[in-house]
Amino acid sequence: MSREERQALLHEGVSVTTTLSAYVEIVFDNTDNRFPTGREEVILRRTIGLKKDEYSLDKKSASKADVMNLLESAGFSKSNPYYIVPQGRITALTNAKDHERLALLKEVAGTKVYEQRRAESLRIMAETDAKRGKIDELLDYIDTRLAELEEEKEELKEFQEKDKERRCLEYALYSRELDEVTEAVEELEEERRGDVHSSNVRREQFNDRQKQAQTLEQSISRTRNALTTAQVTRQGAQSELTDLIRSRTELECIVNDLRLAAERAGGQRATLEAELTTVEARIREREVALQQLLPQWEAHRTRETEERKGLDQARARLDALFAKRGRLDRFRTKADRDRYLNAEIASVEAYGAAQNGALETAKIELDKAKAALAGVEDRVEGAEESQEDARQRHRDLGDQLAKLKDEHAGLTEKRKDLWREETRLKSLVDNEADELRTAERTLASMMDKDTGSGLRAVDQIAERFGLDGVYGPLYRLFEVTDDKFNTAIELTAGNSLFHVVVDTDETATHVLTTMIRERTGRVTFIPLNRINPKIPPPPNAQDAIPLMDKLRFDPMHLKALQQVFGKTCVCRDLTIAAAYVKSHGINTITLDGDKVDRKGALTGGFYDVRRSRLEAINTLMSWKTKFTANDKRLKEVVTTTTQLEQEITRTMGKIQVLQNQQMQARNSRESLVEEAAQLAREKERLLERIERLEGEVSDLDAELGALRAKLEGYRAELASPLARGLTAEEEALIEDLGREIDQRQKQVVELGKTKNEFGKRKNMIEIELNESLRRRRDELRGKIETLGAAEAGDASAADELENRTRELKALNNSIDALNKKSQDLEKEVDKLTAQLQEERSTLEKLQVQQVEDNRGVSKQQKNTERYMTKRTMLLNRKDECNRNIRDLGVLPEEAFEKYTNEKMDRLMKKLHTVNEGLKKFAHVNKKAFEQYNNFTKQRDQLLQRREDLEKSAQSIEELVEVLDQRKDEAIERTFKQVASNFEEVFEKLVPVGRGRLIIQRRIDQDEEDAEEMDETQQSSIDNYTGVSIKVSFNSKVDEGLRIQQLSGGQKSLVALATGTYSSLHV
């Protein structure tokens, strides 16, 4: 059947996996021993696969022919057409002849197999008889030849004696030569074994040095890369150091210039600050003196004002009295006088009212000026506080700016370190990537292209679909604990190293489906849920170590590793390995890779360790681990560098913001200074205005007092009668007022002098304060600020010096760090250079030793060729001696001891004498004796062969008898069952009648039956000749009629019974 037809036979259930095989099993009841197996049950199974069928008998594998023979022996023949009886066949069976029914019975009974075996046995027996005939003919010929040779026996007897002596001598010579050759061969073999041992030792040393050379080459490559990286880093550091030194030189010049300028400015500033201190102290001193002088000046000014006011009033009264005196002569009548006085009063009152308005206006202006002065003073105080706040904010911003600049410098240095680290890691990663690709190519060269593509595809598919159940190739899942077992483990695993381990067959199906769809290589899967390795118990001995004990792995993958390594143990040599294979039924392997399979296979030989897959895998995994770690570190460094650059950018943004804020604070402070100067000028102006207004108010107040006194005089005069002269009181008052005026004038003069003196002193102090000291203080402050007051962040020379000094310090720190790093790099370069030279020297020594070993190998090969030539020559001599000894034929017993101790020259003389004696027998057939012996030997062999053939013929005859007996038993057993069934069925169809099947035996056959039988059906060995049917329709005791004697209806009834019993039997 084709694959599609076989697949169509298999039942598909609910499972999504493809059904690969199915089986049908039949259990037979064999209590009647119909099957010749000797068991009560016979279990027969047929397994149908996609390519072939498998059969098992009693749970043991069997061939299809064995199964068919067993079924035929039990009566199940594929040639039996009566298991399903078609229409018309029953009538043919009923009308068949007796020998035809017998043939049917034989088919049903399954006697065909016995007949086939009997025919085969008879054929073999005929061949045996033919061989026996030929042997008899050869024996007759040999006897004839022996009789002819017997006639020459007497003549040959003497020749035989001489020839025996000759052969003894020749045997002694050949034996001695054989011993010498054998001894030489043994010595050569011993020498060869020594050479082989030394060659093995040299080969092991060669392999060890080869591994050392590979390790050294890898180390040299790593050292060279490290040296290149260190040199590049050193060059970068030196270049950076040169730039920094150049920058430091320039910065030192700038700092020196700034320091000199600062020193010059510092002396001037110190002088200015000292002068400012003196001026400020002088200002405080003069302000204290002014504060002490102002109350005295005010008191004297008040007293002067009061005295002046009293003087003006006295003068006004005195002037009024004098005016009254003058008017007494001027006016004749009181009415004229009163009119005049009223007019004067009205005029004075009008003038007084005007002056009083001016006084109120002056007071209001004075109050406004004082209020404005108070506001200006408050504003001045606020401006000074704002100036101090601005100055403090300027300092704070400077401190923050300096801190940020230091932080920026630190971040910049850190970024430089990260750049250097990134350069170093890039070099390492590039080198490791090259080494990794080389290792991958090396490993790929040890497997076929489809497997390599398939493994890469499996990794990609597992990563793409997130398949956690794909554990990867087997070689990734274990580690070898001892390197000396690498060869044994690698040769045991073979291509299984590249088998992919998965958790379930569903995962494998998923991956395989994707690979088939994408056409990406070919791999073998090991599903853990499908394997159940049967691990034989390992021997409990020191010289047989299970391979599983030398592996380190995850317990999750135990079944996969047991499947590959669980049945193998490591032994010391092949002898021990073969012994454990026989005793424990395990696979064994030696450390050199020689394998002994439990099925009998023996494999091994030379194994090139330079092509070791495990070494290639370990190299690949090592480079992959290093590449992954350094690549991860490189990505981290790049990420950190990016973050650091962002941090530097943010810091620069903060620095710019603080610089802008500092600039704003500086501008704000300058505007506050300007505002303070304006307020000071405004204060001076207001003070001058207040002083002027106060003078006006005082003058107006004094004038108003005089006007009031004048009005009082006018009113008093207006109330008095007109007189010709002043009264005595008025005259006395004039005198008193004159004296009072004189006194008050003196007092006013004195107070004026004192007040003027205090005023002068006050004015001098104020002038000194305003025009000299305070202006000088402002000038000094301006000059100090211009020279650069020590305020953080100020763009003055001191700030520039401080910033440059800070930069120089940071630059010196960087230079020191670079110098240290450069020194470290120099040491590292020197160390790597020395290490590289040492490794190269070691490698050269190893290579020289390898060259010497190659020469030794070439010499050894020449020695081996000479040895092989000499050994071949010796073996040829040995074979020639053995052949000569064999040509001597059968030797007498005395030949092995007779001439053992004889010297070679005596043996040669005796042999010469014997050969001379044999010359007279030259006419004798020298081969007659050999021919006689050969014929005798052939006769013995033929007799033994004839005896074996007779035994075989006897065994075949016994087998034919057994087959005939079994065939007769099968026919008897089948006939009894068929006859019983026929009688039962016929009795049910014809209750009053009787039907029988009668088997006809050869011993009971009469002549009439013999004539009716067909000659082609007769057999000289059959005990049965036919099966007849006899029935009776009206009696159970009658003899009955044969089938030929029945009518048509009766034959139909008999046919019905026959079909029924046939069906029942089948």
Q: What is the rounded distance in angstroms from the CA atom of residue 224 to the CA atom of residue 222?
A: 5
Alpha helices in 41-152 (DSSP H): 64-73, 89-95, 98-109, 112-150
| Structure confidence at residue 1015 (pLDDT) | 37
| Structure confidence at residue 1064 (pLDDT) | 39
| Structure confidence at residue 858 (pLDDT) | 76
Q: What is the rounded distance in angstroms from the CA atom of residue 620 to the CA atom of residue 627?
A: 10
| Structure confidence at residue 985 (pLDDT) | 81
- Are the C-beta atoms of 529 and 509 separated by less than 8 Å? no
1005 pLDDT band, cuts 50/70/90, is low
Torsion (CA) 308, 310, 315, 318 in degrees, nearest 10: -170
999 burial type by CB count under 10 A (0-12 exposed, 13-18 middle, 19+ buried): buried
Distances from the Cα of 33 to the Cαs of 29, 30, 107, 116, 987, in angstroms?
Answer: 9, 5, 19, 21, 30
pLDDT at 1016 over 50: no
- How much is the average pLDDT of 18-30? 82
375 pLDDT band, cuts 50/70/90, is confident
Going 206 to 210 to 211 to 213, the CA torsion angle's sign is positive
CATH code: domain 1-72 is 3.40.50.300
Q: What is the rounded distance in angstroms from the CA atom of residue 416 to the CA atom of residue 645?
A: 11
- Are the C-beta atoms of 832 and 276 separated by less than 8 Å? no
Nearest CA to 287 out of 961, 774, 923 is that of 774
- How much is the average pLDDT of 977-1000? 79
pLDDT at 317 over 90: no
For 75-123+925-1066, the fitting CATH number among 1.20.1250, 1.20.120, 1.10.10, 1.20.1050 is 1.20.1050
Distances from the Cα of 920 to the Cαs of 170, 302, 925, 931, 960, in angstroms?
Answer: 19, 197, 12, 21, 63
Distances from the Cα of 1027 to the Cαs of 583, 994, 997, 1002, in angstroms?
Answer: 60, 17, 7, 12
- How much is the average pLDDT of 216-234? 79
Instruction: For the sheet with 41-49, list strands across it.
Output: 21-29, 41-49, 53-57, 60-62
Of the listed ranges 650-659, 783-792, 953-962, the least confidently predicted one is 783-792
Residue type, 81: P
User: E strand or H helix at 727, and its extent?
Assistant: none
| Structure confidence at residue 568 (pLDDT) | 93
User: E strand or H helix at 500, and its extent?
Assistant: strand 500-502
SS3 23: strand
Tokens at 530, concatenated: 């499908």
What string of DSSP letters covers 1000-1013?
A: EEGGG--HHHHHHS
1017 pLDDT band, cuts 50/70/90, is very low
pLDDT at 391 over 80: no
pLDDT at 1020 over 60: no
Q: What is the rounded distance in angstroms from the CA atom of residue 695 to the CA atom of residue 759?
A: 14
- Are the C-beta atoms of 569 and 588 separated by less than 8 Å? yes
Q: Which long-range contacts (CB under 8 A, 24 or more apart) does 274-282 make?
A: 275/776, 275/780, 276/777, 276/780, 276/781, 276/784, 279/773, 279/776, 279/777, 279/780, 280/777, 282/773
Distances from the Cα of 268 to the Cαs of 275, 276, 282, 784, in angstroms?
Answer: 10, 12, 20, 9
| Structure confidence at residue 789 (pLDDT) | 43
Of the listed ranges 261-265, 531-535, 1027-1031, 1051-1055, the least confidently predicted one is 261-265
- Are the C-beta atoms of 556 and 581 separated by less than 8 Å? no
- How much is the average pLDDT of 245-253? 80
- How much is the average pLDDT of 1010-1026? 50
CA-based R_g, the chain, Å: 72
Q: What is the rounded distance in angstroms from the CA atom of residue 204 to the CA atom of residue 212?
A: 12
How many residues are present in the chain?
A: 1066
Q: Which residues pair with 473 in a beta bridge?
A: 500
923 pLDDT band, cuts 50/70/90, is low
pLDDT at 501 over 90: yes
Tokens at 989, concatenated: 């169809």
Of the listed ranges 98-107, 374-383, 1019-1028, the least confidently predicted one is 1019-1028
Q: Give the percent of the chain with pLDDT over 90.
A: 6
SS3 523: coil
pLDDT at 478 over 60: yes
| Structure confidence at residue 967 (pLDDT) | 74
| Structure confidence at residue 263 (pLDDT) | 62
- Are the C-beta atoms of 562 and 526 separated by less than 8 Å? no
Angle (nearest 5°) at CA 878 between 874 and 883:
145
Q: Which residues pair with 280 in a beta bridge?
A: none
Q: What is the rounded distance in angstroms from the CA atom of residue 104 to the CA atom of residue 111?
A: 10
Phi-psi region of 600 (alpha: psi -120 to 50; beta: other; left: phi over 0): left
What is the per-residue pLDDT across 124-156, written as a single tens digit (0 to 9) for each?
Answer: 888 888 887 888 888 888 888 777 766 666 666
Q: Give the percent of the chain with pLDDT over 70.
A: 84
Q: What is the rounded distance in angstroms from the CA atom of residue 685 to the CA atom of residue 687?
A: 5
Across the chain, what does the average pLDDT equal? 78
Report yes or no on whether pTM surpasses 0.85: no
What is the per-residue pLDDT across 595-638, written as a single tens digit (0 to 9) for each?
Answer: 888 877 778 766 666 678 888 888 888 888 888 998 999 999 99
| Structure confidence at residue 143 (pLDDT) | 80
Tokens at 863, concatenated: 């020695």
Q: What is the rounded distance in angstroms from the CA atom of residue 350 to the CA atom of residue 330?
A: 24
User: E strand or H helix at 569, and its extent?
Assistant: strand 568-571
- How much is the average pLDDT of 398-416? 82
pLDDT at 77 over 80: no
397 burial type by CB count under 10 A (0-12 exposed, 13-18 middle, 19+ buried): buried
| Structure confidence at residue 675 (pLDDT) | 80
Q: What is the rounded distance in angstroms from the CA atom of residue 481 to the CA atom of residue 463?
A: 30
Q: Highest-confidence range of 51-60, 289-298, 791-800, by mean pLDDT?
A: 51-60
570 pLDDT band, cuts 50/70/90, is very high
Cβ neighbours of residue 479 under 8 Å, at least 6 residues apart? 551, 552, 553
827 burial type by CB count under 10 A (0-12 exposed, 13-18 middle, 19+ buried): exposed
Q: Highest-confidence range of 37-46, 209-218, 508-517, 981-990, by mean pLDDT?
A: 508-517
- Are the C-beta atoms of 348 and 711 separated by less than 8 Å? yes
pLDDT at 261 over 70: no
SS3 11: coil
User: E strand or H helix at 924, and its extent?
Assistant: none
- Are the C-beta atoms of 808 and 248 separated by less than 8 Å? yes
- How much is the average pLDDT of 799-824? 77
Tokens at 527, concatenated: 């599903």
Q: What is the rounded distance in angstroms from the CA atom of residue 873 to the CA atom of residue 884?
A: 16
Residue 544, phi then psi, degrees to nearest 5: -140, 100
Q: What is the rounded distance in angstroms from the CA atom of residue 1012 to the CA atom of residue 1018?
A: 11
- How much is the average pLDDT of 864-882? 83
Give the residue, 476 or 759, on which the prediction is more confident.
Answer: 476
| Structure confidence at residue 93 (pLDDT) | 63
pLDDT at 793 over 70: no
Nearest CA to 867 out of 352, 300, 184 is that of 184
What string of DSSP letters covers 594-653?
A: -EE-TTS-EE-----GGG-HHHHHHHHHHHHHHHHHHHHHHHHHHHHHHHHHHHHHHHHH
Q: Which residue has the tokens 């604990």?
A: 481
| Domain regions of the chain by residue span | 1-72, 75-123+925-1066
Q: What is the rounded distance in angstroms from the CA atom of residue 811 to the CA atom of residue 252?
A: 10
pLDDT at 977 over 90: no
13 pLDDT band, cuts 50/70/90, is low
Q: Which residue has the tokens 């034959």?
A: 1051
Of the listed ranges 101-115, 236-250, 539-553, 908-922, the least confidently predicted one is 101-115
Residue type, 699: D
| Structure confidence at residue 123 (pLDDT) | 84
Angle (nearest 5°) at CA 1039 between 1035 and 1043:
95
Chain centroid, CA 183 distance in Å: 64
